[in-house]
Amino acid sequence: MKTQDSVAPEFRYLRPMKRPESVTFPVYKKLEDILAQATEHPDSVVAHALATCAGYSYSDAPTLAMIMARLGLETNHCRQISQVVDAMFISSHAFLVQSKDGRVVILCYRGTQPLNFINWLTDADVNPEKVPIPFADPPVAFGIHGGFYRNVRATRHEVIHALERALDGRSVRAKGKAMPYPLEALYLTGHSLGAAMAATMAVMLRTEPAYTPIARMLRAVYTYGQPMIGDPALAKACDGDDFLRHNLIRYVYGSDVVPQLPPTVSGAFAHFGQERHCGPGATVGEVDRPTQQLGNLTGLVVAPLAFVTHQLRLFRNLPFQQSLYDHSPQHYVTALTPAGVSSEYGDPG
């Protein structure tokens, strides 16, 4: 198990070069207050902040700490917890971003890295594992995507220990100092594989009695480009939980193919929670019918083709029902940036 700690520097070191059109950081004044006080979800500021967090989790703890400081979590404590076991198809990376006053923690899972072959094997390892989940007593076994489940399980205990530290008013860092306040608001997020891991952890927190003190602090789960994590029976049970039905929000950009996976040839899978569509050119809003499974393998061939054709001006506007290009995390960040709000690099909104 590897960990990496980082404390974001004072944001005076993060100011952009002074230009007439420059925007002074942070993007959001007192983002920790916004996160701690948000009571209705989805929230546009929270959606933007967590999409940015999910996008930069493909980097490392110092980079993520810097970006979240620019957004408004100044002098945050950021900890990376990782376990990589190639032969077991495990490449699990969890980031905990804690506000400087200790009240807010974001648990963000890294998604599928484009050049990481083990990540792709994890995504492809769809054979469901029967896992007893205590929605009722006695627990009932549900089918969960094997690769997603094993990757959450790999770092779960260290993540839980860090959250317990936050509950006790301490830093999430392994040997961190006492914080001004204990944890009040916990958010889970991730993109792609990271989105699936965040959703899986949310189910664990909501159903495991030992995690109840942490679950009480869970405010919402925001995922981006999330594939399905379990069978229809699990999805139905999750939608029977008030929190998971209303406060797990899945964003789907354009024709992103990943929310349609795994395909039906891999077995029956289904989504749960709220689904929201965004960009390109679409109004962010809830949909009546959640994304369904990909019915055949043709879409898996078409999806990469959509990425290639988008690079060619003559074919850029061809309509695709499945697109790998639309899965890129930067699309989610751009689509969910509120009007008039600057980017994490200070570009005017």
Give the Cα separation of 235 and 120 in Å (integer). Answer: 24
Residue 101 lies in a domain: yes
Give the Cα separation of 98 and 171 in Å (integer). Answer: 8
Q: What is the 3-state secondary structure (H, E, C) of 32-50?
A: HHHHHHCCCCCCHHHHHHH
Residue 269 lies in a domain: yes
Strand blocks (E) in 17-87 = 77-85
Residue 20 lies in a domain: yes
Residue 216 lies in a domain: yes
User: Under a CB-based contact definition with an 8 Å cutoff, are residues 134 and 209 in contact?
Assistant: yes
Question: Smallest Cα–Cα separation from 48: which of 187, 186, 183?
Answer: 187
Residue 222 lies in a domain: yes
Residue 6 lies in a domain: yes
- From the CA atom positions of the chain, what is the Rg in Å? 19
User: Under a CB-based contact definition with an 8 Å cutoff, are residues 254 and 326 in contact?
Assistant: yes
Give the Cα separation of 228 and 145 in Å (integer). Answer: 8
Residue 36 lies in a domain: yes
Give the Cα separation of 60 and 135 in Å (integer). Answer: 35
Q: In this predicted model, what pLDDT tens digit does every residue of 172-191 receive, in sequence order?
A: 998 778 999 999 999 999 99
Q: In this predicted model, what pLDDT tens digit does every residue of 233-250 receive, in sequence order?
A: 999 999 999 999 999 999
The strand pairing partners of 250, in sequence order, are 223, 275
Domain count, the chain: 1
Q: What's the domain range around 192?
A: 2-295+328-335
Question: Smallest Cα–Cα separation from 165: which of 55, 1, 5, 2?
Answer: 5
User: Under a CB-based contact definition with an 8 Å cutoff, are residues 333 and 51 in contact?
Assistant: yes
Residue 340 lies in a domain: no
Least-confidence region, from 29-38, 284-293, 308-317: 308-317
Q: In this predicted model, what pLDDT tens digit does every residue of 183-212 receive, in sequence order?
A: 999 999 999 999 999 999 999 999 999 999
Question: Smallest Cα–Cα separation from 91: which of 51, 43, 147?
Answer: 147
Give the angle 28-51-299 at the CA atoms, nearest 5°.
155
The CATH number for 32's domain is 3.40.50.1820
Q: Tokens for 255?
A: 């024709």
Give the Cα separation of 89 and 100 in Å (integer). Answer: 35
Q: In this predicted model, what pLDDT tens digit does every residue of 80-132 receive, in sequence order?
A: 999 999 888 889 999 999 999 999 999 999 997 755 544 544 455 667 889 99
> Taking the model in full, what pTM does it have?
0.89
